[in-house]
A and B are shown apart, each in its own frame.
Chain A
């Protein structure tokens, strides 16, 4: 049986509210299908499945707030549907008695929790199981924070309130846009505070002549109808992704040490009109050509601004790019989005006196910056990366 868990949509996300199941038991699903809609700080997110099979059971009620990692549904893989039915009972026993797993799965409660995290009386535990209460969500009032029978009974009262959310309330969840701006603000605040608390940042900048780059872009766009035209952002994303191939230490996450990521998934900062930012992912950007990256941007930016993203749009970024666009500040020194280890920033371009080969000329120039996590890399790595990025930008036709 495949366990479908509440996915994490970034370091700043701890929980979400299940608004609607899009599938029911017995429905078959394949990778990429939307199984549910979950309200998060980043708006209403469509949650995708990553496995193929038939929905066996949906374990969470619509309207329930659930932490990241919660068991939400059980999916039967296609090849073992017959087999799984027969062995499902003994399988459950096996999991329960395996002490090395440090956790048990209470089928029926729909929740997954670590037993060692809290103390609970046997009576309270039994009542909780019978009433499908997640013990990990209860603040114990007994000795040493132990969960008592009364705590569980209070939780049952709370759960019944949640379960009785009328349809109108669920509809209003979809519409609350002002509070959405506030929740985006607090999501950004949480992630950036964590970053500033935990990550020792170092900062580098490089002035890059992009006259040739923009000329190539103009020539390319000149031959294209308007809906096929490229924006500089697509080229910058490709150049960063291509440069990262030779700097794997920057395409990584820090979790008890550096973990280098195979896929280069670029998080691209999109500012929202009401304030705040959202950072959708461009997956395997080094394997896409500039046209394909532009197609992704055309799809993802309007959806990000409308706060209509899917779970895969917000997951697995391995590095972030923030680009200010023309007319704004000259340089941006980003704050790393944890658990990533670097963020690349592009300032606005302008015409400037620029010396090349002993000749002074007027060139279009911008400042590229790299903020690195000093636990993961040193300034030299970042510096070499910016030089490689410069080389790629001087040869846009090769990207």
Chain B
């Protein structure tokens, strides 16, 4: 799975949680939660759905590495190498 495909999945899952927003318009270094106005509950739901879709486990201490589109994509790519 390449970067474009991962982004596609991220946008799709974010759109489910925040249907009134356009996740594909996110800038690479923007804070996802703040920009799309996602609360802690929906944020957890998003990570759960990422886990289900991609099979990657994201420990709580790594949440800080998933805040922007750039670092989330990189984090997933790293995880998928392992």
Q: Give me the interface of A with B, judged by CB distance under 8 Å.
A: 218, 221-222, 225-227, 229, 231-233, 271, 273-274, 297, 301-302, 325-327
Decide if A273 touches B18 in the complex (CB within 8 Å). yes
Q: Is B13 an interface residue (CB 8 A)?
A: no
Nearest 9 interchain pairs by C-beta:
A221-B60, A226-B51, A227-B48, A325-B40, A226-B48, A301-B41, A325-B39, A273-B20, A231-B40
A341–chain B nearest beta-carbon distance, Å: 27
Cα A229 to Cα B58 in complex, Å, equals 11
A222 in complex: contacting residue of B34, B48, B59, CB < 8 Å: B59
- The B42-61 residues at the A interface (CB cut-off 8 A) are 44-45, 47-48, 51-52, 57-61
With A222-B60, A225-B51, A273-B18 known, 19 other A-B pairs at CB within 8 A are A218-B61, A222-B59, A225-B57, A226-B47, A226-B51, A226-B57, A227-B48, A227-B51, A229-B44, A229-B60, A231-B41, A232-B40, A233-B41, A273-B19, A273-B20, A273-B37, A297-B41, A325-B40, A326-B40
Which DSSP category, helix, strand, loop or mixed, fits chain B's interface? helix
Cα A226 to Cα B44 in complex, Å, equals 8
Cα A325 to Cα B37 in complex, Å, equals 12
Residues on B with beta carbons closer than 8 Å to the beta carbon of A232: 40
Decide if A274 touches B20 in the complex (CB within 8 Å). yes
Cα A232 to Cα B20 in complex, Å, equals 26
Residues on B with beta carbons closer than 8 Å to the beta carbon of A326: 40
Tell me the count of chain B residues lying within 8 A, CB to CB, of chain A: 19
Cα A325 to Cα B47 in complex, Å, equals 18
Residues on A with beta carbons closer than 8 Å to the beta carbon of B19: 273
Cα A227 to Cα B39 in complex, Å, equals 17
Cα A273 to Cα B42 in complex, Å, equals 11
Residues on A with beta carbons closer than 8 Å to the beta carbon of B18: 273
In the complex with contacts A226-B51, A229-B44, A273-B18, A218-B39 CB distance below 8 A? no
Decide if A271 touches B45 in the complex (CB within 8 Å). no
Residues on A with beta carbons closer than 8 Å to the beta carbon of B57: 225-226
Residues on B with beta carbons closer than 8 Å to the beta carbon of A221: 60
What residue in chain A is nearest B45 (Cβ atoms)? Answer: A302
Decide if A271 touches B51 in the complex (CB within 8 Å). no
16 A–B contacts, CB within 8 A, in A order: A218-B60, A221-B60, A222-B59, A222-B61, A226-B48, A226-B58, A227-B48, A227-B51, A227-B52, A231-B40, A231-B44, A271-B39, A273-B18, A273-B19, A273-B20, A297-B41
Provide the B3-42 mask, 1 if CB < 8 A to any CB of A, else 0.
0000000000000001110000000000000100101110
A307–chain B nearest beta-carbon distance, Å: 13
Most chain B beta carbons < 10 A, residue from A233, A273, A297, A327: A273
Residues on B with beta carbons closer than 8 Å to the beta carbon of A226: 44, 47-48, 51, 57-58
Cα A19 to Cα B39 in complex, Å, equals 32
What residue in chain A is nearest B37 (Cβ atoms)? Answer: A273
